[in-house]
Amino acid sequence: MEEKVVHLKDGTEVLIRPLTTEDGDKSFAFFQALPEEDRRFLRYDVTKRPNIDRRIKEIGFGSVERIVAVINDEIVADGALEFSGGEWTSHIGEFRLIVARPYQRKGLGVLMARELYTLATSRKVEQIVVRMAAPQVNARKIFSRLGFREDSILPGLIKDRTGAMQDMVVMRCDLQAMWQELENFFAHSDWQRTR
């Protein structure tokens, strides 16, 4: 993807671009600044620098596309489209997305989702999956609005950062349905005047 300048609902200018190998320090700072409550359900412990470096190295292998949102040279959101690589699931991608607290509820998550959608389309993905812990109610609501439907709940499958066992919720969306939801969102919002 190419760099793209977008505007939040409040008019704030944001640069959305691919994560690069030079972003190690910025990415680490972004994850360090997240409240513990937001990091609790992340797949990896992002407070450890080697995990950040590993995420960046994965970019060159083709199994993941990573994007970031940048304001004033600081990363404020991080998104990924991951691929399994197996033939059975070659048509499926998995979204991962996290937005810094000061930029939540301003439309940044939807803008990032739209860019991830575009990446998925270019990679000929037909379905997108998200996996999350059951207590992540707000994330579930956001993905529901984007056209995702709850596929399954796997009891006690994951362990959060505190060591507590959590149910995993799997949601899935057909790419065409997601595109329609994104188009509806932008068509029925006051976004046009801030673009």
pLDDT, one tens digit per residue, over 34-46 is 999 889 888 888 8
Q: What is the pLDDT confidence band of residue 189, given thresholds at 50, 70 and 90?
A: low
Report pLDDT for 90. Answer: 79
Q: What is the pLDDT confidence band of residue 103, given thresholds at 50, 70 and 90?
A: very high
Q: What is the CATH number of domain 4-194?
A: 3.40.630.30
Residues 50, 73: Cα–Cα separation, whole Å:
22
Domain ranges of the chain: 4-194
Please indicate whether residue 187 or residue 25 has the higher confidence score (pLDDT): 25
SS3 state at 175: helix
DSSP symbol at 110? H
Q: What is the pLDDT confidence band of residue 193, given thresholds at 50, 70 and 90?
A: very low
Report pLDDT for 182. Answer: 66
Contacts of 79-86 with CB under 8 Å at 24 or more apart are 79/112, 79/113, 79/115, 79/116, 80/116, 81/116, 81/119, 81/120, 81/123, 81/125, 81/128, 83/123, 83/125
SS3 state at 22: helix
**Six-digit token pair at 37?**
């409550």
pLDDT, one tens digit per residue, over 131-181 is 999 999 888 888 888 888 999 999 999 999 889 999 999 999 887 766 666
Position 49, amino acid: R
